[in-house]
């Protein structure tokens, strides 16, 4: 049987965080040989918040460099930049007409972001989940590897697909999410009840994939924990649970192994140990990304080539969609 299709995206707004890596990118790499995968730097999503144009261009290419450095093969996977494939915008418009105002009003990320950017609550910010649904449905994706914070958006994409199929027959594959059981929600190091976000104004709250080892160590040493001084995974110990999750992923150790390792030790030893494990996890990725970022022509050629591959696949779905809704064929 032919391989199933995977689609996922990441915003090139700012530098990529350890949360993005653990929640999503790590799994993208893990499943790359078992599926036909499309991985996208979603620059059209990024402009829902004001961006510096020069930086956005650079960061879109930097995302492609980072994906390669994480271990994704740009020949085997289709890795590209969203705005280079115009069908995303075209399908998003069509799907807008099959999405309800009330559905979009319920999106928690919209509520959060419109509070954060209260001076710029633009229509794109509100409509963002429809563009995301278009990204996924355009390629008939079966599976979407994401972190926990994108679950609600994925559910909306499923609802839109089912609604459209209900009217026109089986046009879209209804996608499933793939959220890791451990690491689907990496928390801020400064406020461990909040998710780690690459745009957090507090630099100590987040680890970035390109952070220098010194910065990583400093941030982990400062990480907020609790006053119990016991390295155990337990309800309510948000800071420690988060550090244990990160340490477990960086070292491959289970929670009980970690508890045993730090049984008679305090946080003073645990926190730098997490830092060191993360430094080693990120070191090769950081070095390779920085190397690749110097090869702009190479990155550009990958983007151009893969955008063409993506566009050809997208066109298959678009032809069906145009016909179904009553557009005159080109």
Give the footprint of ligand TYM on this chain (CB under 6 A). Answer: 7-11, 19-20, 22-24, 42, 45, 132, 135-136, 144, 146-147, 149-150, 153, 184-186, 195-196
Q: Is 271 a catalytic residue?
A: no
Q: Give the position of tokens 């989940």.
A: 129
Active-site residue, from 54, 198, 294, 320: 198
Burial 174-198 (b: 16+ CB within 10 A, else e): bbebbbbeebbbbbbbbebeebbbb
Least distance in angstroms from the C-beta of 10 to ligand TYM: 4
Cβ atoms within 10 Å, residue 270: 23
Q: Which residue is at the shortest CB distance from ligand TYM?
A: 23
* Nearer to ligand TYM among residue 56 and residue 262 (C-beta): 56
* Nearer to ligand TYM among residue 10 and residue 95 (C-beta): 10
Least distance in angstroms from the C-beta of 311 to ligand TYM: 16
Least distance in angstroms from the C-beta of 13 to ligand TYM: 7
Least distance in angstroms from the C-beta of 323 to ligand TYM: 25
Q: Is 4 a catalytic residue?
A: no
* Nearer to ligand TYM among residue 62 and residue 262 (C-beta): 62
* Nearer to ligand TYM among residue 27 and residue 225 (C-beta): 27
Contacts of 170 (CB under 8 A, 6+ apart): none
Q: Is 198 a catalytic residue?
A: yes
* Nearer to ligand TYM among residue 109 and residue 165 (C-beta): 109
Q: List the structure tokens of 132.
A: 């995301």
Active-site residue, from 4, 55, 111, 113: 113
Q: Give the position of tokens 């970035």.
A: 208
Least distance in angstroms from the C-beta of 185 to ligand TYM: 5
Tell me how far apart the alpha carbons of residues 281 and 248 are, in angstroms, rounded to a whole number. 11
Active-site residue set = 113, 195, 198
């Amino acid at each position: 049987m032919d391989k199933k299709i995977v689609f996922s995206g990441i915003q090139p707004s700012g530098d990529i965080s350890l949360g993005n890596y653990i929640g999503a990118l790590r799994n993208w790499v893990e499943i790359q040989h078992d599926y036909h995968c499309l991985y996208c730097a979603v620059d059209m999503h990024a402009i829902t918040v004001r961006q510096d144009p020069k930086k956005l261009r650079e960061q879109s290419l930097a995302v492609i460099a980072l994906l390669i450095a994480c271990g994704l093969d740009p020949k085997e996977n289709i890795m590209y930049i969203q705005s280079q494939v115009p069908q995303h915008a075209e399908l998003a418009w069509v799907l807008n007409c099959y999405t309800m105002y009330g559905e979009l009003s319920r999106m928690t990320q919209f509520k959060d972001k419109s509070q954060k950017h209260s001076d710029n609550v633009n229509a794109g910010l509100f409509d963002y989940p429809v563009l995301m649904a278009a990204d996924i449905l355009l390629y008939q994706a079966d599976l979407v590897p994401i972190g926990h914070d994108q679950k609600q958006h994925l559910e909306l994409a499923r609802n839109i697909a089912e609604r459209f199929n209900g009217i026109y027959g089986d046009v879209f594959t209804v996608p499933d999410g793939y959220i890791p059981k451990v690491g689907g929600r990496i928390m801020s190091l400064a406020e461990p009840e909040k998710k780690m976000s690459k745009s957090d104004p507090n630099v100590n709250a987040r680890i970035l994939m390109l952070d220098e080892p010194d910065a990583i160590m400093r941030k982990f040493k400062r990480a907020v924990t609790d006053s119990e001084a016991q390295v155990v995974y337990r309800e309510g110990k948000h800071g420690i649970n988060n550090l244990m999750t990160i340490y477990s992923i960086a070292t491959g150790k289970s929670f009980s192994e970690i508890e045993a390792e730090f049984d008679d030790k305090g946080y003073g030893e645990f926190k730098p140990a997490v830092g060191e494990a993360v430094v080693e996890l990120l070191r090769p990725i950081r070095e390779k990304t920085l190397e690749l970022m110097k090869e702009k022509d190479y990155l550009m050629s990958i983007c151009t080539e893969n955008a063409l591959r993506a566009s050809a696949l997208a066109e298959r779905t678009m032809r069906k969609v145009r016909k179904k809704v009553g557009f005159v064929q080109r």
